[in-house]
Amino acid sequence: MFMAMSLPAGALGDRFGRKNIMVLGGSITILGMLLLPLTESVPLGLQRIWPILSQIVLTTGWPMFTVNFVPFLMAVTTLENSSRAYALNSTLKGLGIFVGTLLGGSLPGIFAAAVGQNLESSSPFRTTLFVAVLLSLTAMIPLFLIKAGKRVDRKQQEKTDEKFPYLLIFLLVLYICLFHTVWALVRVFCTAYMDADLNLTPFSIGLIAAAGQFVAILAPLLVPALTARRGSGWAVMATSIGMIVVLFPLVAFHHWAAVGISSMGIFALSAVWMPLLQIYQMEMVANRWRSLAYGAISMALGFSFGAFSLIGGYVAAAWGYRSLFWLGIALTTAGAVVMGSILRRQKTQ
């Protein structure tokens, strides 16, 4: 659903206004969240498909928000502070995930103890899901209060007659489909590798994962310094090469420390890479096409993650996890080559 809705979400934002579609998408997302804890209240015949229905509704609305948020943020910032705004957005998003994970893990036990139940009951989890709905409704309040204001004069925004950059977006989609494999493979299979091959305890695996999440919260703060140095395109290329380099300890050494170094490096650089990619794509595309263009980028991100999560399972089963990570290095390197060709093409124009 995320892949299917990404392009329509961008087109709707360009047609009816990004803030309007963000509000609509956020509302649909919250509706999908609300449906899940109501599963036990629907007729018995619907209960098996109700959770799937809730995910379909949720994931219909979520791209409508996220795809339009990126160009909307560019429209309400200035040329001088846009990189700081994208960095702050990524940092707060990472912090929200971190805090939300802690709340999601602790609230069911707290609610169960408060009413004298155990965690075999569904009630504590249902109550926790309702808390998530309330938090999301609260998060909508600032969105309603935001005023787009008077758009800052930007060279790209003035090109109202510019055609959609099909070649650039095609090359960026190709780059993402190849390059994003390293994130998908590490995110999906690193835990299984630590468990099955390295025989680490669940506590050790959780500690390494938590360290990666923590550095991912702080890493986006580097974005303004990187873009100020030589521009967003150069910064995207630099982080692309960096992600290839930090993956080598994982494939070169059969040790928990190597996994820790690589996973923390991938988490950190991915957290930097995403806002850099967003800034670069926004700068390269005229304002009227930004939502549609980012819809294509979001579709590529979803496709790459889903496809290589599935393919990676077969590769790991047939040749092992380290062969899988070598495949990630090869595909990511090919993606970096595509990005290099995009930058070279820009210089010659």
The pTM is what? 0.81
* Nearest residue to 235 via CA among 16, 86, 22: 86
Determine if residue 117 is left, alpha or beta; phi over 0 gives left, psi from -120 to 50 gives alpha, anything else beta.
Answer: beta
Report the pLDDT averaged over residues 19-35: 95
How do residues 109-147 score in pLDDT, each as one tens digit? 888 888 887 777 888 889 999 999 999 999 999 988 887
How do residues 210-224 score in pLDDT, each as one tens digit? 888 888 888 888 888
User: Phi and psi at residue 261, in whole multiples of 5°?
Assistant: -65, -45
Ranges of CATH 1.20.1250.20 domains, the chain: 2-145, 166-348
> What's domain 166-348's architecture?
Up-down Bundle (1.20)
How do residues 153-167 score in pLDDT, each as one tens digit? 444 444 555 788 888
Burial class (CB in 10 A: 0-12, 13-18, 19+), 242: middle
For residue 280, pLDDT beyond 70: yes
State the Cα–Cα distance between residues 317 and 315, nearest whole angstrom: 5
Report the pLDDT averaged over residues 276-298: 87
Q: Which fold has domain 2-145?
A: Growth Hormone; Chain: A; (1.20.1250)
